[in-house]
A and B are shown apart, each in its own frame.
Chain A
Amino acid sequence: MFDILFYIFAALTVLTAILIPICRNPVNGAMFMIASFVGTACLFVLLEAYFLAILQIMVYAGAIIVLFLFIIMLLNVDKVKHLRPSIVAQVAALFALLILSLGVGSLFLSGAANPMPEISVDSTASMARNFGYLLFTKYMLPFQVSGFLLLVSMIGVILLSKKLPVTTTKVGEDA
């Protein structure tokens, strides 16, 4: 039963992810991205990380995609002409494809699927309490740093999105 669910969700995640770079219109890409993230959240559920699944849907599908769609609408980038990637990029992509397929293939061949270990229901990642406990004890410093990072990025975004003056006075130009 879980196997069938895994294959369904994995197919949903991967197929919609492949459609993101293929779509010419970024709006369609953003829509497929929602589907891909929902598929990933379903995979998180299969891995018994329920809290992370909810977080994934709330943060990615709820906040990030909305931000993307908002910017796409704001910029009004309609279907732009399809530019061919440069020859360097194509060669690099081919090389990367070779290496990545080598890695995935070696994973595939190294088989020996050991089953998921049984852990008690209390200790799964479903518990937001476990997260809170870890965040405020073992990972206190990273927690503070990520809070500071959010503050910094907020200030940065406010500064970036301010309309800059067109003419900047050079040093020593007018005195």
Chain B
Amino acid sequence: MNVGLESYLIVSGILFSVGFFGVILRKNALVMLMCLELMLNASNLALVAFSRYNATPENNMMDGNTFVFFIITVAAAEVAVGLAIIVQLFRHSRTSMVDEFNTLKD
């Protein structure tokens, strides 16, 4: 039994789907943001696995890893902004459930 590329891809797919269902089915904005992070993390895992399994001694395929570097940067920025927005929303309506944020609808 050899661990190949598709094993990592399956793990990555499961992680992504868990994050996806968290975003769809949960109502708490904080948990939704956490699940978004999980989805980004799953894509990171897939990128690293792809770049490792396509590497050769001549070309070490650092591009996927560099991409992960940028994704981590963007994720950090995204969490900072998202949490600031959640704090403002909480100040506005004293809740973090996304169902309550319907001011624009009425």
Q: Which residues of A contact B (CB under 8 A)?
A: 2-3, 6, 10, 13-14, 17-18, 20-21, 23, 26, 29-30, 33, 36-37, 40, 43-44, 47-49, 51-52, 55-56, 59-60, 63-64, 67-68, 71-72, 74-75, 77, 80, 83, 85, 89-90, 92-93, 96-97, 100, 103-104, 107-108, 110-120, 123-125, 130-131, 134-135, 138-139, 142, 146, 149-150, 152-154, 156-157, 160-161, 163-164
Q: Are B18 and A30 in contact (CB under 8 A)?
A: no
Whole-angstrom distance between the alpha carbons of A119 and B65 in the complex? 15
Q: What are 14 contact pairs spanning A and B, CB under 8 A?
A: A3-B2, A17-B15, A20-B34, A21-B26, A40-B44, A43-B11, A52-B69, A60-B75, A80-B95, A93-B21, A96-B24, A113-B3, A149-B74, A161-B87
> Provided the pairs A40-B44, A52-B48 are in contact, do residues A64 and B37 lie with their beta carbons within 8 angstroms?
yes
Whole-angstrom distance between the alpha carbons of A170 and B80 in the complex? 30
Q: Are A20 and B30 in contact (CB under 8 A)?
A: no
Which residues of chain A are near B14, meaning CB under 8 Å? Answer: 14, 17, 104
Which residues of chain B are near A60, meaning CB under 8 Å? Answer: 37, 41, 72, 75
Whole-angstrom distance between the alpha carbons of A112 and B53 in the complex? 13
Whole-angstrom distance between the alpha carbons of A146 and B5 in the complex? 29
Q: Are A134 and B8 in contact (CB under 8 A)?
A: no
Residue ID in chain A nearest B79 by CB atoms:
A64
Q: Are B6 and A72 in contact (CB under 8 A)?
A: no
Q: Are A52 and B65 in contact (CB under 8 A)?
A: yes
B25 near A: Cβ within 8 Å? Answer: yes
Apart from A64-B75, A161-B84, 17 more pairs, CB < 8 Å: A6-B3, A10-B11, A33-B38, A44-B48, A49-B52, A55-B69, A56-B72, A60-B75, A63-B76, A113-B6, A119-B57, A123-B57, A124-B60, A139-B70, A142-B70, A150-B76, A154-B80
